[in-house]
Structure 1
Amino acid sequence: MPAIIIVGAILQPLAQGVGMDPVHFAMVGIVSLAFGLVTPPYGLCLMIACSVAGMRIGDALRDTCIMLLPMLAVLAAIIVFPQVVLFLPNMISPEFLR
């Protein structure tokens, strides 16, 4: 939560300056921060899950690495193709995104 508040507040004017949609900017930020929660060296969610399961982080990393490639592909798709993120908001409330 602090990362969203601090980094979002700092980078939002920059994103707005280059013409990036605020919804797209928010989704890229949230997905990248979620990606960071399961990747080492910090990986808080990975550490908590290992602690609850009673297993070593090294053992869990082998299985987690399998999921990192699809997560990276989704993040890249969101960054490269903003319409993937903006499809549903355009359907619900197109006047909001104008």
Structure 2
Amino acid sequence: MAILWDVLEQVVWDKEVEVSQRKARAPLQRVAESTQRAPLPRDIASAAATEGSPRSSSRSRRHRPPGTPQEPLQPGRDHASLREERRGLLEHPD
């Protein structure tokens, strides 16, 4: 157990040294100022339309309760048809 404790102490010590070195290289005020100058994030359409710049892609994920079979994802479906489908699931037959 003493060896494990020594290893953990070394990890903590190394991390404290690393953090203090990073703080010395980039004070918090300078980091905060650089975030203010950074460009705003782009939506996927404007990222794809811009030539010569890094492009990104999005991934669609849906939450579902565990054990529920998952239907295939159709990202192009319109929201109105999805709303109607969900509304039908919420109605209780009497």
TM-score bracket for the superposition, by shorter chain length: under 0.3
Find the structure with the greater CA-based Rg. Answer: 2
